[in-house]
Structure formats: structure tokens, C-alpha cells
Amino acid sequence: MICPIVISTVHGKGLGVLLESIKQYCPEIPVYLRGPESVIENFNADVKVFSQPTNFGNDYNAIINRALEDFESVVVANDDIVLTPTSYRVLMEDVDILLDMDLPIGWVASRTDAARQAQNIRFNPDGETIDMCRFKYESKIRPAEVISPIFAWIHGDTFKEANFPPLNWYSDDVNCLDLTAKGFEHYVSTSYVHHVGSQTVGTNAEKLTNEAVPWLLKNRPEYAKQWFNS
């Protein structure tokens, strides 16, 4: 199964390295790009969709839905990651395993070195000592309540059930919980990508949270209460 890699970028700080890793490790995979022309005009991609960026949610909705016009499923990639030689292959192998089990699959996301605990290779959910050189506990697919779509697969029929909200931060949290409420389950793959972190929407956590709170209070007050106890 070939799924395109979809990317949205604002500043394109790490985009060149990501695209080079795709070219080196999975050159047969189509790439769908969204971002300002000034950033991505010099990159040779299968499809380019130029537009001024708005926010993480809207921008990824646009490029995902564009790719789903041509494919049944997609792999979403942040613009600040770097693939390894096995990232794409292992992710898709794990997707095939889950599909064979006939599960209500939501997101299937890669592990990385800068992400929430469910995906972070430095966090061991079993409380055992981790061999940082070998990652021995990285030998199985794990369920997760919420994932970050740093490098993550989703089927088009599933994404139609719940798109991202128009937010920079908390868009992935909202999307995952919305899909969970519809009966879908999310998983963390044994795939790995290197993640620089926080280049896509910025590093000012307080600002990004404050921008998201009004929308959350109005549209998902149950989530806002859970996250902010207010």
C-alpha cells in the first residue's frame, strides 16, 4: 500500500532535510506540500499547493483532503522531522498488522525523540530501566489515547469523521478525542523519526495556549475543563 506523505509548512526551517530524507529513503512516495510559495517553490514535489499559512489545523486539513482526492489514506509529516531509512516502511508494516486485526483504527503514529510521552522514546511506560542505545522496549505497537501526528498514518474515511480544529496547539488533542468519541482507537507504531521540535507553529507555549483557550471553551468545554481545570 502506497500512501502519500503530506506536509504543511510555515517557515520551512527543516523542510529541506525532511524532503531529502524522503528522497533518499522512500523516493517512490508522492509528497503533497502546502505553504507559502516563497518557502517551497524550490523543492521538487509530486504536488504543490501554495497558500499563505493560517493555522496548523486548517492548513493540514487542506493538504490532507487534497491528497485524499487521489489516495485512500495518507501519512502526515511535520515539517521539522527527519526520516530514517526504515521510518516509512515500518510505519506501513504496523498499519498492515492493525488492519489485519480488523480494529477501528484512528491514527497510527511513529515514535520520536521530542513528543508527548506516548511517542517519546525516552519515556518507558513500564517503569523499567531503558537502554538508550537499543530501545529494547520498542518492540511492540502500543495503544494511545492521544498522539501527535509528527509522522502518522490515517485513513480517509476516518479523517472524514473528524478534521482538525482551527488551532495551532491542541488541534491534535481535539482531533484524537473527537475520533475516540466516535469509536476509533489510536496506536503508536514501532517506526521512528527524528523530531527537531516546535518549528511548525513556534516555541511560545504560553502564547499558543492562550490563543487556543477561547475556541476550546466555546467549542469543546469538556476538554478545556479536563486540561485546564476551569
Q: Which residue has the cell 492521544?
A: 146
Cell, residue 193: 523519526
pTM of the model: 0.87
Express each pLDDT in 110-148 by its tens digit.
998 877 788 888 766 665 554 444 444 456 898 999 999
Q: Angle of helix 221-228 relative to helix 205-219, nearest 10 degrees?
A: 140
Q: Which three cell numbers stand for residue 32?
A: 503533497
Which homologous superfamily does the CATH classification assign to the domain defined by 5-200? Spore Coat Polysaccharide Biosynthesis Protein SpsA; Chain A (3.90.550.10)
Q: What is the pLDDT of residues 195-214, one digit of tens each?
A: 886 656 666 667 777 777 88
